[in-house]
Copies of this chain bind each other. A is one copy, B any other.
């Protein structure tokens, strides 16, 4: 299956290190609906402020993205720069400014290199004739070590459609998304209200459920553009087609989110932290995040040390309802602690074996209620320190 009615491009504008593409464009040949989610950081980059306003209209046909410079903490100059790059690109595409969204990622506090950026715009637009979504996935990378792309095929009224998406992550990954960009496109025709609702739910269960270092950036943006070019009967809420669309959308966002964690700076482990038996879903997620963000827990993962004590301590300070005499902790299939105490026997040896796996699950049951949540994280390694002690995009 091929995606209909979208074109893509990426070029090198020398915003990033030489030899790496750093300017990308997503374009719909026809009018399209958009749903978008942005960082909740109170310090927001110019492109976030602009795109958040424009996305409110629910209409967008293009996304202009640069890597290498976040255009964050750049004041009024940053706003003027973002607006003028956007205007120049919209003109070249024959669009009103408002139908083009902008996203940036990279170093904070440096003004955009406007001459090089603007010089790259016409070549970028020209490249739409021979570009691909893979090109976009590569151009938005910063400290990412591999490009992240996912696609699914669905059916509505006998017509096939595509949902495809790219993402970048690496550092500063934390709920409410941190330095994370993800752009999804679909040629399915979807009710705008359903698109917004479905995307909001998909983001909450994916990009807002991963954490690498607990930091949150100023530039996070996740959006989906739906242009209906597949020609399917419009997918409406409450139908089996809507359920299938939501399932596929969740598969794409969750898969991209997990790829971001697997590519977390210096990560050697992929860890799923599940908390169940909580009083509420927010409690379950808070406890899971306290575990996933604990430096002592993350370094124990790196050291393959079955230190369940650090995990129960993190649950204790998470600020959620906990009865320490009920807490149960498992590493994959190995029960480490029951009723808040070590089970003994071969648990330490067995748990250590689990932690030697590259991918395992820490499951905590609070035995208080029926709510649960899962978050995805990585360990904390020497390389995380090395990469971030001398970080340059």
Chain A interface (Cβ < 8 Å from any Cβ of B): 40-44, 70, 72-75, 77, 107-110, 171-172, 174, 176, 213-218, 293-296, 299-300, 302-303, 305, 307-310, 312-317, 322, 324-325, 327, 337, 339-342, 380-382, 384-386, 388-391
Partner of A389, one of B70, B109, B305: B305
Docked-complex contact B43 and A312, CB < 8 angstroms: yes
- A213-B296 in contact given A72-B309, A73-B324, A313-B108 (Cβ < 8 Å): yes
Docked-complex contact B216 and A74, CB < 8 angstroms: no
Docked-complex contact B312 and A389, CB < 8 angstroms: no
Residue from A70, A313, A341 with most neighbouring chain B CB atoms (10 Å): A313
Docked-complex contact B381 and A385, CB < 8 angstroms: yes
Docked-complex contact A388 and B341, CB < 8 angstroms: no
Q: Interface majority SS on A: helix, strand, loop or mixed?
A: loop
In the bound assembly, the distance between CA atoms of A2 and B313 in angstroms comes to 40
In the bound assembly, the distance between CA atoms of A384 and B380 in angstroms comes to 10
Docked-complex contact B309 and A391, CB < 8 angstroms: no
In the bound assembly, the distance between CA atoms of A340 and B46 in angstroms comes to 12
Q: List 11 A-B contacts (CB under 8 A).
A: A41-B313, A43-B322, A70-B309, A72-B313, A75-B325, A75-B339, A77-B341, A171-B296, A213-B295, A213-B296, A299-B391
Docked-complex contact A388 and B216, CB < 8 angstroms: no
In the bound assembly, the distance between CA atoms of A93 and B386 in angstroms comes to 53
In the bound assembly, the distance between CA atoms of A302 and B107 in angstroms comes to 18
In the bound assembly, the distance between CA atoms of A298 and B214 in angstroms comes to 12
Docked-complex contact A109 and B309, CB < 8 angstroms: yes
In the bound assembly, the distance between CA atoms of A41 and B340 in angstroms comes to 14
Q: A322 — which chain B residues lie within 8 A by C-beta?
A: 42-43
Q: A40 — which chain B residues lie within 8 A by C-beta?
A: 317
In the bound assembly, the distance between CA atoms of A384 and B389 in angstroms comes to 13
For the complex formed, measure the closest distance between the CB of A378 and the CB atoms of chain B, giving whole angstroms: 12
Docked-complex contact B388 and A385, CB < 8 angstroms: no
- A75-B300 in contact given A44-B324, A309-B108 (Cβ < 8 Å): no
Docked-complex contact A299 and B73, CB < 8 angstroms: no
Partner of A73, one of B176, B302, B341: B341
Partner of A42, one of B305, B308, B324: B324
In the bound assembly, the distance between CA atoms of A74 and B325 in angstroms comes to 9
Q: A389 — which chain B residues lie within 8 A by C-beta?
A: 299-300, 302-303, 305
Q: A314 — which chain B residues lie within 8 A by C-beta?
A: 215
For the complex formed, measure the closest distance between the CB of A390 and the CB atoms of chain B, giving whole angstroms: 5
Docked-complex contact A388 and B308, CB < 8 angstroms: no
In the bound assembly, the distance between CA atoms of A337 and B327 in angstroms comes to 46
Docked-complex contact A391 and B300, CB < 8 angstroms: yes
Q: A317 — which chain B residues lie within 8 A by C-beta?
A: 40-42, 174, 176, 215-216
Nearest residue in B to A340 (C-beta to C-beta)? B73
Q: A41 — which chain B residues lie within 8 A by C-beta?
A: 313, 316-317
Q: A77 — which chain B residues lie within 8 A by C-beta?
A: 341
Docked-complex contact B388 and A296, CB < 8 angstroms: yes
Nearest residue in B to A392 (C-beta to C-beta)? B305
In the bound assembly, the distance between CA atoms of A310 and B391 in angstroms comes to 11
For the complex formed, measure the closest distance between the CB of A208 and the CB atoms of chain B, giving whole angstroms: 13
In the bound assembly, the distance between CA atoms of A381 and B386 in angstroms comes to 9
For the complex formed, measure the closest distance between the CB of A46 and the CB atoms of chain B, giving whole angstroms: 11
